[in-house]
Amino acid sequence: MTKPNVIETLHSVAAFNRERGQATHHPLISVIDQKDSTPFFPQRYLSELFIIFLKESECEGIIYGRGEYAFYRDNLLFIAPGQVLSHHSDEQYRPQGWAIAFHPDLIAGSNINSNQFDFFCYDNNIALAVTADEKKRLLTLFAQLKDETESSTRYSPSNNLIANNPIEDQVILSYLELILRICHRLHLQTNNQTPKPNSDLLLRLEQELNFYLHSGQAQDVGLPSVQYFAEKMHLTPNYFGDVIKRETGISAKAFLEKWLTSIAKQKMADSSLNIAQIAYQLGFKHPQHFTRFFKRNVGVTPTQYR
């Protein structure tokens, strides 16, 4: 049964599959046909995954961020790490359609830059309608990507850390990039016709975080803090923290640390940057402080992660 006041963290592809009674074939990506899923009680989730849903039936009361959307047949919906998804339902249900869930580590260091695909942002959370031809094209690609992930030999339920298979992953990434680019084209077409929903605090925070990172403010101001972003949004730190806790299920400090960890992992994939450069770009005064932060949040040192 749905727990309205509880926000679960969707931390892995295996957890996404397990809720739906689906097998995990690759530790970082899953493509599922939801007709093969077992019915489940929908929960409210703080996602640590990128998720693409292609629905083949109507469903009511989907909450994305703080907006509620009617999700009609043959629509696409996109979720990114750090975003919240829930349903208005207290009953078991089995969605109809397909889903792709992938961990940010899959695309780290690849040609896929999630910042290019702004349909993952909170202010672009309008479900995208697809035509019959577009749906047919996407379903073919979904099925081919599913075959590739299921032929992977990297994963075993008792041991996620199987050696990388670069050839398999390059094929998987090629299919995923093509799907994302088709979705990007659909998003651009829809965005020219559909007004954007009103902003909310999570959208504003997402925009402030992106500006903070790309404007170089991190090097001037230091590490992102609750105080700093509360002031940016003209809120008291306590109120800002309460809203983030209510919307995501974790404290504002923990939310900022998750965001910083995700950005750090993306930068670690850039071989042109050494660890000291990454540390300074993120706002750390000393590289050793970054190393301790990374080890605490990822479980390994930056050098070991690389």
Least confident of 61-65, 101-105, 281-285: 61-65
Question: What gap in Å lies between CA 83 and CA 46, rounded to an integer?
Answer: 6
Give the model's pLDDT for residue 69.
Answer: 52
What number of residues does the chain have?
306
Give the model's pLDDT for residue 89.
Answer: 59
Q: pTM of the predicted model, to two decimals?
A: 0.64
Q: Would the pLDDT of 180 be above 80?
A: yes
Question: What gap in Å lies between CA 207 and CA 209, rounded to an integer?
Answer: 5
Write the pLDDT tens digit of every residue in 112-128: 876 667 677 655 555 67
Q: What CATH code is assigned to 201-305?
A: 1.10.10.60
Give the model's pLDDT for residue 194.
Answer: 46
Q: What CATH code is assigned to 7-191?
A: 2.60.120
185: tokens are: 């084209």
Question: What gap in Å lies between CA 214 and CA 19, rounded to an integer?
Answer: 37
Confidence class for position 99, pLDDT limits 50, 70, 90: very high
Q: Are 58 and 73 in contact (CB under 8 A)?
A: yes
CA dihedral for 177, 180, 186, 187, sign (positive or negative): negative
Residue with more model confidence, 31 or 214: 31
Backbone torsion region of residue 45, taken as left when φ is above 0, otherwise alpha when ψ lies between -120 and 50, otherwise beta: beta
Residue with more model confidence, 154 or 264: 264
Confidence class for position 198, pLDDT limits 50, 70, 90: very low
Task: Please classify residue 87 by burial: count the beta carbons closer than 10 Å to its beta carbon, then call 0-12 exposed, 13-18 middle and 19+ buried.
Answer: buried
State the span(s) of the chain assigned CATH 2.60.120: 7-191
Strands 44-47 and 7-10: parallel
Question: What gap in Å lies between CA 92 and CA 77, rounded to an integer?
Answer: 21
State the span(s) of the chain assigned CATH 1.10.10.60: 201-305
Give the model's pLDDT for residue 87.
Answer: 63
